[in-house]
Amino acid sequence: MAKEFKNPFRPGAGHMPPYLAGRETEKHEFERLLEQDTILENLILTGLRGVGKTVLLETFKPMAIEGDWLWVGTDLSESSSVSEASLSIRLITDLSVVTSGVVLARKRLGATGFGAAPQPVQLTLDYPMLQAMWQQTPGLAADKLKAVLETAWAHLRGLNKRGVIFAYDEAQNLADHAQKDEYPLSLLLDVFQSIQRKGIPFMLLLTGLPTLFPRLVESRTFSERMFHVLFLDKLSRQDSHDAVTKPITLANSPVRFDEASLDSIYEITRGYPYFIQYVCREVFDVWSQQIEDEDSLHAIPVEEIMRKLDSDFFAGRWARATDRQRDLLLIVAQLENCNSEFTVQEVVSQSRSSDRPFSSSHVNQMFSALADAGLIYKNRWGKYSFAVPLLDQFIKRQAAAR
Ligand SMILES: Nc1ncnc2c1ncn2[C@@H]1O[C@H](COP(=O)(O)OP(=O)(O)O)[C@@H](O)[C@H]1O
Ligand SMILES: [Mg+2]
């Protein structure tokens, strides 16, 4: 395939799009936070799956580095949040990447063997050093971690950087475990609040599903003041169009999307970034094969793409619901406000007009199971939302096909 026929679109978790559309407000907010000398605000990027949290986080990284910040962090797996020790080790491991170049002392060691000259040895603030410091500091987990972070900054400040950003993706995995007497999430919040009060410019940048922020607030109410929350939503119509057309122009591609096809793409995707990449990738593949055939150029195979999207994106999640739970979800999908928030009570009244109504205790119980299955989530005020974009339309398509 010739170079200009290469498909530029990138559906897939964490895949940088060929053109990152919109998100200007979010970038400005982040730039504002980069101006802080004393950290009063940390940042949370939250939103549904596929809305573009990971790629925006990746976009922030060069901005931070450009602004003279050091950047550390990774994905927060569930295992890093098992215990206070595991979370501390996670932070220390990530921090050591930027501290390991800091030389603490140069020593000359004695000759190590027959005829060998004394070797100069550098003592650096590398992982073993930080880890030893952590281990040897007496006190609680929080005292140990604070000691390491404070010492690290005492050495890092000589580098003339503004501070360090601790960026963690998938931070909804953070949790306290009262039954095991392990509080890694509280530890993180306590430690950062404490060192920030002391003027140490270490900023937290957490990214995760909408359950993230409620969980932080539940753990420590001061989280409410500690974080600025950016809720990533679908793209506007104009930004969606840009997400489609700019990659084409940039790649100088022979495939063209006209107004009508842009409108159909918006109809299908509603501006959700993952869906835009997905649909455009499909359309591009079809069109680039038909490029000789002028007539078929502007027809978007809507039905076919929807069917493929249903099986690639929705079907796996749908499979986690039982038949009765699916009945309940169909009732939810019929609510006018199903795409914002809905309450148990609203669902119960909606269900009265169905053959088999649900009681409120039944709905409560099933919602909790559906939340565990990742289909809905509960917000801070006890209301529910769909956890997957455009789920209502998928549910209706399923019901129509039954
Ligand atoms: N602003 C954007 N413009 C165009 N495509 C985007 C944008 N943000 C995300 N995408 C695309 O959407 C998909 C999901 O992005 P990702 O960052 O993995 O989402 P999340 O981390 O929220 O689940 C990727 O294919 C990515 O290329
Ligand atoms: Mg992600």
Nearest ligand, CA 59: 1
Q: What is the mean pLDDT of residues 85-98?
A: 97
With a 6 Å cutoff on the Cβ, whether 326 touches ligand 1 is: no
By most ligand atoms within 8 Å of CB, the mutation choice from 206, 211, 250, 274 for ligand 1 is 274
55 lines ligand 1 (CB under 6 A): yes
Does residue 60 have a pLDDT over 70? yes
Q: Which two tokens stand for residue 228?
A: 């600025």
Ligand in nearest proximity to the CA of 169: 2
User: Is the Cβ atom of 13 under 6 angstroms away from ligand 1?
Assistant: yes
Residue 103: its pLDDT value, please? Answer: 84
Q: Give the other-Cβ count within 10 Å of 84's Cβ.
A: 23
Mean pLDDT of 239-251: 94
pTM above 0.85, yes or no: yes
* 260 part of a folded domain: yes
Atom number, ligand 1, closest to the C-alpha of residue 47? 22
CA 208 to ligand 2 center in whole angstroms: 7
Helix (H) or strand (E) holding 322, with range, is none
Handedness of CA 366, 367, 368, 374 (dihedral sign): positive
Asked whether residue 3 is domain-assigned, the answer is: no
* Region for 61 from its dihedrals, namely left if φ exceeds 0, alpha if ψ lies in -120 to 50, beta otherwise: alpha
Same domain for 57 and 172: yes
Taking 60 as the threshold, does the pLDDT of residue 207 lie above it? Answer: yes
| Least confident span in 31-40, 82-91, 300-309, 343-352 | 300-309
Cβ of 362 closer than 6 Å to ligand 1, yes or no, is no
Residue 9 lies in a domain: no
* Residue 384 falls inside a structural domain: yes
Question: Do 206 and 270 fall into the same domain?
Answer: no
- Distance in Å, CA 135 to ligand 2 centroid: 33
Which of 183, 207, 231 terminates a domain? The answer is: 231
Residue 10 alpha carbon to ligand 1 centre in Å: 9
State if residue 21 touches ligand 1 by the CB under 6 angstroms criterion: yes
* Proportion of the chain above pLDDT 90, given as a percent: 80
Contacts of 154 (CB under 8 A, 6+ apart): none
Q: Check pocket membership of 17 for ligand 1, CB cut-off 6 A.
A: yes
CA of residue 117 to ligand 2 center, whole Å = 52
Predicted local distance difference test score (pLDDT) of residue 298? 66
**Residues 187 and 157 sit within 8 Å (Cβ to Cβ):** no
Sorted by sequence, the CB contacts under 8 Å of residue 281 that are 6+ apart come out as: 7, 9, 10, 11
86: domain CATH number?
A: 3.40.50.300
- In this structure, the answer to whether residues 226 and 239 fall within a common structural domain is no
Per-residue pLDDT for 4 more than 60? no
Which pLDDT score is estimated for 206? Answer: 98
Amino acid at 324: R
Q: Give residue 190's pLDDT.
A: 98
d(CA 257, CA 237): 15
Q: Which of 46, 343, 27, 82 is nearest to 213 (CA)?
A: 46
Lowest mean pLDDT among 187-201, 292-306, 333-347: 292-306
| 130 lies in the same domain as 243 | no
pLDDT at 112: 58
Specify the 3-state DSSP secondary structure of 252.
coil
Largest interatomic CA distance in the chain: 93
Three-class SS state of 181: coil
Which residue range forms the structural domain that includes residue 285?
235-300
Together in a domain, 277 and 158:
no
Residue nearest to atom 6 of ligand 1 (CA): 273
| Ligand 1 touching residue 8 (CB < 6 A) | no
Residue whose CA is closest, atom 13 of ligand 1? Answer: 274
- For residue 167, list its beta bridge partners: 73, 205
Residue 389 Cβ inside 6 Å of ligand 1? The answer reads no
Q: Whose CA is nearest to atom 12 of ligand 1?
A: 274
Greater confidence (400 vs 148) lies with 148
H or E element, residue 1: none
203 and 258 housed in the same domain: no
Say yes or no: 77 and 187 in one domain.
yes
CB of 212 within 6 A of ligand 1: the answer is no
Answer yes or no: are the C-beta atoms of 173 and 134 closer than 8 Å: no
184 and 71: one domain?
A: yes
Q: Is residue 312 part of a domain?
A: no
Answer whether 314 contacts ligand 1 (Cβ < 6 A): no
Work out the average pLDDT over 136-157. Answer: 97
Asked whether residue 97 falls in the same domain as residue 203, the answer is yes
User: Is the shortest distance between the CB of 101 and ligand 1 below 6 Å?
Assistant: no
Q: What is the pLDDT of residues 103-133, one digit of tens each?
A: 887 776 655 556 666 667 788 899 999 999 9
What atom of ligand 1 comes closest to residue 272's alpha carbon? 12
- Greater pLDDT, 250 or 230: 230
CB of 272 closer than 6 angstroms to any ligand 1 atom: no
Residue 112 within a domain: no
Atom of ligand 1 nearest to the CA of 278: 25
Average pLDDT over residues 52-79: 96
For residues 192 and 83, state if they share a domain: yes
Q: Is the CB of 210 under 6 A from ligand 1?
A: no
Give the mean pLDDT of the chain: 92
On the question of pLDDT at 336 being above 50, the answer is: yes
- Residue 1 is predicted with a pLDDT of 46
**Number of domains comprising the chain:** 3
Residue 108 is predicted with a pLDDT of 66
For the chain, the C-alpha Rg in angstroms (whole number) is 26
Measured at the CA of 167, the angle between CA 166 and CA 171, to 5 degrees, comes to 115
Going by the DSSP 8-state scheme, the letter that residue 19 receives in this structure is S
> In this structure, are 361 and 247 located in the same domain?
no
* Within a domain: 13: no
* 100 and 160 co-located in one domain: yes
pLDDT > 50? residue 163: yes
pLDDT of residue 289: 78
Average pLDDT over residues 319-324: 94
Give the mean model confidence (pLDDT) for residues 317-333: 95
- Which ligand places an atom closest to the C-alpha of 173? 2
Domain presence at residue 310: no
Distance CA 371, CA 387 (A): 8
Ligand 1 in contact with 376 (CB < 6 A)? Answer: no
Reported as a single tens digit per residue, the pLDDT across 247-302 is 998 888 878 888 999 999 999 999 999 999 999 999 998 888 776 665 555 678 88
* CA gap 377, 387 in Å, rounded: 6
pLDDT tens string 354-398: 889 999 999 999 999 999 999 999 987 889 999 999 999 999 999
Provide the pLDDT confidence category of residue 402 given band limits of 50, 70 and 90.
confident
